[in-house]
Structure 1
Amino acid sequence: MLINLDNGPSVGSSRTQFLKRMVAFAKKTGKIIHLIYYPPYHSKYNAIERFWGALEKYWNGKILDKARKVFRIAEKSSWKNTHPIVDSLKKSYKTGVRPTDEEIEKYGHYIQRSESLPKWDVYIFPNIEN
């Protein structure tokens, strides 16, 4: 499974809590996960950034004061004849949580970084034998 990421602060390849969750997901699904990060300030390559521009045009200055209104506008919008899947997460994650060094060592074996681009190209394997 290839996932393109924007290198934002919550999903950076050095974020231990994020990587811990990705390892758990790989183990649960049995899928190899390939994380590829867009370089900083290169939003033109990120499809979601282009979609935001189309969405801003679509809502045309409307006051977005209710979640339902935002969802309705987002659901009706499209970019290159593609409509988004719109949903809301009900769960919130605690901030400032950091895995212990022992936890990091347990899941660190599942992570393999590119030799040439270790910060931008990361594989997560569902089992250690890889």
Structure 2
Amino acid sequence: MIRVIFACDSIRYWWQNYGAVHYRSASSILLMCDGGGSNSSRQYLFKQDLQALVNELGIEIRIAHYPPYTSKYNPIEHRLFPHLTRVCQGVIFDSVEMVKNLMANAKTQTGLKVFTTILTQVYKTGRKVTGDFKQTMKIVFDDYLPQWNYTAKPQV
């Protein structure tokens, strides 16, 4: 099986190990994504892999992208990253396992605790969207700001 992009593998891992356990009655997942990178709002490869993911999980995923150049308003940037930077400060990384353990030690007095894992898949580069995906996808774009907001629904 060709592995989907890293973002979708990360979502799958979270849902199977945390989300489905803690949110048993959830009928959908809301993801707030930055506007760039492999999960960019303009990337149909992300949408294709997202469609495959919702088909596999059987739950719809709603995507709300931050507009370009506004990722600084993403609360994760302010709530998580400073603490990851703090625990890694002055450390010379000599293994992926060391980085994983350092990040797992990031916590705050207000209750932030970081859970880490290492995804070891190898991802194929240069992939293209299949020719008929745009005609067969079950991705519904919002009426308001459809370029940034949409929902991927499982296909029957």
Same fold (TM over 0.5): yes
Q: How many residue pairs end up in the alignment?
A: 126
Q: Distance in 1 between matches of 2:102 and 2:88?
A: 7
TM, length-normalised to structure 1: 0.84
Q: Which amino acid aligns with 1:77?
A: A
Are residue 54 (structure 1) and residue 56 (structure 2) matched? no
Deviations 1:74-107 (CA, angstroms, capped at 9, x unpaired): 0111244221110111112212211232233222
Are residue 30 (structure 1) and residue 58 (structure 2) matched? yes
Match of 1:65 among 84, 90, 94: 94
Q: Which amino acid aligns with 2:152?
A: I
Matches within 5 A, 1:95-110: 95-107=125-137, 110=138
- The offset of 1:66, in angstroms, is 1.5
Q: Work out which structure has the larger RCO, using CA pairs closer than 8 Å and 6 or more positions apart in sequence.
A: 1
The equivalent of 1:10 in structure 2 is 38
Match of 1:75 among 104, 107, 113: 104
Q: Distance in 2 between matches of 1:121 and 1:67?
A: 34
Match of 1:112 among 116, 128, 140: 140
Deviations 1:25-57 (CA, angstroms, capped at 9, x unpaired): 111222111001122333343233221122112
**RMSD in angstroms over aligned alpha carbons?**
1.8
Question: After TM superposition, which residue ranges in structure 1, 4 or more long, deviate above 4 angstroms?
Answer: none
Identity level (%): 28
